[in-house]
Amino acid sequence: MRPPRFAAALASLASLAISAVSSAQLSLLLVPDTGDTSKPNLGDRICAFSPVDGSLVNANFVPKDGRMKQVNKVVQTPWNTLLMTDFDAQAIWEYGLDGLYIRTFLSTSQMTGGLTPGVGEGLQGLCIAYGKIWFVFTDSLCNGCTPAPMPGDDNAVWSIEFDGSGLTKRFATADKPELGVMRDIAPFNGGFLVSDSGNTGANYDQVEFISLNGTVQSPTWHDGNTAGSFINFPQQVTPLADGTVLVASFSSSAIQEISSTGEALRARNASLFLSFRGVHPLQNGRWLATGGTRVVSIDPVTNTSVDIVNYTVATATYNGSFRWVSPVEVPACFGDLDLSGTVDNGDIAFALLDYGVCPGCTADLDGSGDVDFGDVALILLSNGPCQ
């Protein structure tokens, strides 16, 4: 028979668990890692990072499942699932917040207009705005056009309704010569900003503003060829709450900050010589930036950086390949420390890693400042699938 004091302690802990706000939201930043797929359980997965300081929360938020081939961007739907553009698989996948596959939301075989998916062609940018899903089919090849290099006729922004109907080709390079090879798309000031990595003549390395009716702003919203700009092969475009915009620039190894009206502000690369693909602000004032084998935190004031993860053969016997950054909100499950969707022995193991004095630790469930028996007991009381 349990001692009365032990029973009382369990009752107190149970009360604490029940009083936890079950509807609380957990904020995360999701980043696809499309690295070396020859390694078991590595590559073609979605990693989760903290929006506060950028620390790695879960390297397998959506684990490798044999379906994902080269996911570029993930967005959260209004019905709380994840859509992701897969360049090599030529599909938009839909997954649950538990990391499990739901369905193929769209295949490029559904898209009309002479698509010729192949090397250099596929799905990249993705966003949800103005009551629709918008995505970019990037065609960086010259499909019988002269002179090369020129974008093929398939390079375009498409839209589709939430129920999968109404698939429409909206803004295409073939119709709008001022657009080049489009990559990312982000809602901005009632229209969109699109990263544009190439075209003929001087129309390359730009960020274009496109209105909802398809008008491309002229002169170009931001021209990477002008003085003060470090944009060269732009990737992710991230508008900020204050109206400024961050752009990850692959070839110039820079994160370019742009004013709300398109003028170049500061550019940051922290002397990394890293081919940046993704960027997102952190709550601590730094920028989370991704590219190649690394995810880093950049201080925009001092232009210094800290490695968060660096998956290279030299340091991890594995070459990572990190893509674009997307914020999501997932329902927090009390006691699910490893975000597996179930409170189980894995969460106990997670707590034991931080056992001892640990103020502010995720595993300090009772807020005592220590990870101890009380926190393990709370995990045991919450055992089972998250609801």
What are the residue ranges spanned by the domains of the chain?
Answer: 25-331, 335-385
Name which of 147-151, 275-279, 357-361 the model is least confident about: 147-151
For 341-360, what is the mean pLDDT? 86
Q: What is the DSSP letter of 352?
A: H
- Sheet arrangement for strand 191-196: 182-188, 191-196, 206-211, 222-223
* Among candidate residues 354, 381, 376, the one with its CA nearest the CA of residue 365: 376
Higher local confidence (pLDDT), 100 or 85? 85
Strand 132-139 to strand 156-160: parallel, antiparallel, or no bridges (unpaired)?
antiparallel
The token pair at 229 is 């700009």
Lowest mean pLDDT among 96-100, 232-236, 313-317, 342-346: 313-317
What pLDDT does 23 receive?
40
pLDDT for position 20: 39
133 vs 380 pLDDT, higher one? 133
Mean pLDDT of the chain: 85
- Match 């940051």 to its residue by tokens: 268
Write out pLDDT tens, residues 38-81: 877 788 999 999 999 999 999 999 999 999 999 999 999 999 89
Q: Which residue has the higher pLDDT, 115 or 174?
A: 174
Q: Tokens 């000031």 correspond to what residue?
A: 189
Comparing 99-108, 233-242, 266-275, 302-311, the range with the smallest average pLDDT is: 266-275
Distance between CA atoms of 117 and 92, rounded to whole angstroms? 14
Query: Does the pLDDT value for residue 204 go beyond 80?
Result: no
Interval 158-175 mean pLDDT? 92
Please state, in angstroms and rounded to a whole number, the distance separating the CA atoms of residues 43 and 34: 5
Residue 202 has a pLDDT of 58
Give per-residue pLDDT as tens, 124-136.
999 999 999 999 9
Cα 338 to Cα 142, 195, 273, 370: the distances in Å are 46, 35, 33, 18
Residue with the larger pLDDT of the pair 26 and 54: 54
Hey, CA dihedral for 355, 358, 360, 366, is it positive or negative?
Answer: positive
Per the model's pLDDT, the better-predicted residue between 179 and 84 turns out to be 84
Q: What pLDDT score does 203 carry?
A: 62
Confidence at 118, pLDDT banded by 50, 70, 90 = low
Q: How far apart are CA 118 and CA 116, in angstroms?
A: 6
Tell me if the pTM is above 0.85.
Answer: no
Question: For 342-345, which contacts have Cβ atoms below 8 Å and span 24 or more sequence positions?
Answer: 342/384, 342/385, 342/386, 343/379, 343/382, 343/383, 343/384, 343/385, 343/386, 344/383, 344/384
Q: What angle do CA 220, 232, 261 make, to 5 degrees?
A: 35
Residue 145 pLDDT class (50, 70, 90 cuts)? very low
CATH dotted code for 25-331: 2.120.10.30
User: Is the model more confident about 69 or about 37?
Assistant: 69
Which amino acid, 275? S
Q: What is the mean pLDDT of residues 137-160?
A: 67
Q: Give the residue, 26 or 242, on which the prediction is more confident.
A: 242
Task: Decide which of 147 and 206 is more confident.
Answer: 206
What is the mean pLDDT of the segment spanning 4-29?
50
Rg over CA atoms, the chain: 23
pLDDT on residue 385? 85
Architecture in CATH for domain 335-385: Orthogonal Bundle (1.10)
CB 347 within 8 A of CB 338: yes
Q: Amino acid identity, residue 153?
A: D
What is the per-residue pLDDT for 199?
57
Report the pLDDT averaged over residues 357-384: 84
pLDDT at 113: 54
Task: Tell me the percentage of the chain whose pLDDT exceeds 90.
Answer: 56
Please state, in angstroms and rounded to a whole number, the distance separating the CA atoms of residues 211 and 208. Answer: 10
Q: Is the pLDDT of residue 168 over 60?
A: yes
Structure tokens at 36: 């070396």
Helix-helix angle 345-353:373-381, to 10 degrees? 160
